[in-house]
Structure 1
Amino acid sequence: MKVNWGTAIVIAFVGFIGFIMYFVVNMATNDKYDHDLVVEDYYQQELKFQSNIDKEENSKNLKTDITWKKTKDGILVEFPNELDIKQIEGSVFLYRPSNKTLDFEIPISLSNHNLLIPDNKLLDGRWNISIDWTYNNEAYLYKKEINY
């Protein structure tokens, strides 16, 4: 069977369109290429944005800010020594950008100026830590990207 040049061009176009459509459908239906928003409640988070900026500024105005270090038991978060630990309240949120099912939040419960985030909850890789806490009715926020 002999195919003329007009039919060959049409076959080439149909083949190319089929090739492109395969990738479009594959990207849209495969969970590996999931392109959700970073957080589920994006708009509510956006409304709290200025409040978070104010909390971060309060945190920067402290004599010493929160520090953290990696230990064999996990991540050790150290609160400033000049603060009374009985008046510190809040929570620590760890966010895993690559997998939202690994995100978790723990309340701040201090017996000294240190808080240990256990190693069994942490996988190697990048984490975003967000410590939202209050001291003497003043709100503070500490955010950091860490590699564990």
Structure 2
Amino acid sequence: MKLNWGTGIVIAILAFIGFIMFMVTTMITNHKYNHDLVTDSYYQKELKYQDNINAEQNVLAIKDAIVIQLNQKGLELLFSEEFQSEFINGKVFLYRPSDKTLDSEFPIVLKNQKLHIPEKFLVGGRWNITVDFNYKGTPFLYHKELTL
């Protein structure tokens, strides 16, 4: 049996479509591949975008508002001396882009203008650190990417 050009092209297209369907099915059904969104509440966060920009500007207005240091015991966040620790309330969110099960959230409880995050919460790799706090009613938002 001899194949002509038309039959060969149709067979090639069908083979390609079959390959693509196989790959799509494999990627969707295989539990090895993670299909989580970057964040669960993506749309709600986008609605507060301008508020976040204003809070980030508040942090930039203060020199060294937050300094992040890594030591043997973990991660240390040093708040500026301009802040009185009793008027700060908020949280620190450690976001791991590659695995949401490693995400952690800590309330801000300062001791000598410092917040300590123990080493057990920090696995090697990339982390996005978000410090979201209020000081005397003014919102502040600080972002930092860190690779351990």
Aligned length: 146
Q: Give the counterpart letter for 1:93 in structure 2.
A: F
* TM-score, with length taken from structure 1: 0.89
Question: 1:31 corresponds to which residue?
Answer: 31
> Aligned to 1:4, which of 2, 19, 25?
2
User: Do residues 79 (structure 1) and 79 (structure 2) align?
Assistant: yes
User: Do residues 22 (structure 1) and 22 (structure 2) align?
Assistant: yes
Q: What's the offset of the Cα at 1:32?
A: 3.5
Q: What's the offset of the Cα at 1:62?
A: 1.3
1:15-70 Cα distance to aligned partner (Å, 9 max, x none): 33322221121122223333332111111101111111110001111133200111
Q: Percent identity?
A: 47
SS at match of 1:18: helix
Alignment of 1:91-110 (within 5 A): 91-110=91-110
* TM-score, with length taken from structure 2: 0.89
For structure 1, the 5+ residue unaligned runs are: none
Q: Give the counterpart letter for 1:90 in structure 2.
A: G
Question: 2:44 corresponds to which residue?
Answer: 44
Q: Using the alignment, how far apart are the partners of 1:18 and 1:99 within structure 2?
A: 32
Q: Using the alignment, how far apart are the partners of 1:54 and 1:12 within structure 2?
A: 56
Q: Using the alignment, how far apart are the partners of 2:24 and 2:106 within structure 1?
A: 40
User: Do residues 134 (structure 1) and 138 (structure 2) align?
Assistant: no
Q: Which region of structure 1 is more displaced relative to structure 2, 102-111 or 12-21?
A: 12-21
Question: 2:119 corresponds to which residue?
Answer: 119
Q: What's the offset of the Cα at 1:13?
A: 4.3
